[in-house]
Structures are given as C-alpha cells and as structure tokens.
Amino acid sequence: MIRQRIGSTAATIVFILGFIGVGHMLATDPGRLFRQLLFIGIFGLIFYVIYRVFMAPKISAEDMRYRKTAQASKKRMQRPGANPKVKPSTAAKKKVKPSSNVTKLSKRPTRSAHRSDAPHLTVIEGKKGKKKKKANM
C-alpha cells in the first residue's frame, strides 16, 4: 500500500513538473515547443508505420474465411426489399385504446409470412478433429 502511494505521488510530481516546463517553454519560446511537438509526432508516426508493416501479426486463413463470410452476410441482410427487424420507436410503443372492433387488434400475422424470412447461414470450417477428454472411472 505504501509503494502504491509512493508511485502515485511520484507520477503526480512528474506530471506537475512537466506541465510547468511546457508552460514555461510556451511563454518564452513557443516556436521551439511546436517544433519539438512536430518532431515527436513525426517520429511516432514513423514507428507506428514500421510496426504495422513489419511487426503486426499476419491474418490466418481461417480469419480470412470468417471475414469474407461476415461481409457476405452483411450484404445479404442489406439487400433492398428485405424487412430488417427494427425495434419500434417510443411513439410506436404507445398503448392503443381498445376500439369497438376487437378482432382487428387480436389478429395475428400468419405463420407462413414469418417462416419466409428464414436466415441464410454459412458454415465456417473449424477444428472438428479435436475430441473432448472424458473422465475415467
């Protein structure tokens, strides 16, 4: 617990001194401050590009198949004429006052309309050969 307090106090002191130093440099020589910030940004960008190009983990073939399938699924769901399932807004959730014609309110859509919108699923190959370990008695 004491170590946490010491570390947090030291970090606070370093931040305060840093803000004082940046404020002093901004007041005395703002051009130099902006040049330093520009160089820090350029070097950070160079290191980021080097990391992304050379050190980023490569995408496996299984991940590529998954992404391709997910994109195809999105395109299928966004086709025109399809009715996406949208949650009703708060205005649509208002209670309807019962009218004299109760049969209109209690009328349900037919089941065939519900079943016509069956989802189109694609099987993604996975690790099927691995067997589960069973407990020995």
Convert the pLDDT of each residue in 40-91 to its tens digit: 999 999 999 988 888 766 777 788 888 899 999 998 888 765 555 555 555 5
Name the least confident of 37-46, 107-116, 121-130: 107-116
pLDDT on residue 6: 82
Locus of tokens 């401050």: 33
- For every residue of the chain, DSSP letters joined together read -HHHHHHHHHHHHHHHHHHHHHHHHHHH-HHHHHHHHHHHHHHHHHHHHHIIIIISPPPPHHHHHHHHHHHHHHHHHT-TT--------TTTTSPPPP-S-HHHHH----HHHHHTT-----------SPPPPPPP-
pLDDT on residue 39: 96
Q: Taking the domains of the chain in order of start, what are their residue ranges?
A: 2-43
pLDDT on residue 53: 83
- What distance in Å separates the CA atoms of residue 60 and residue 6, rounded to the nearest whole number? 45
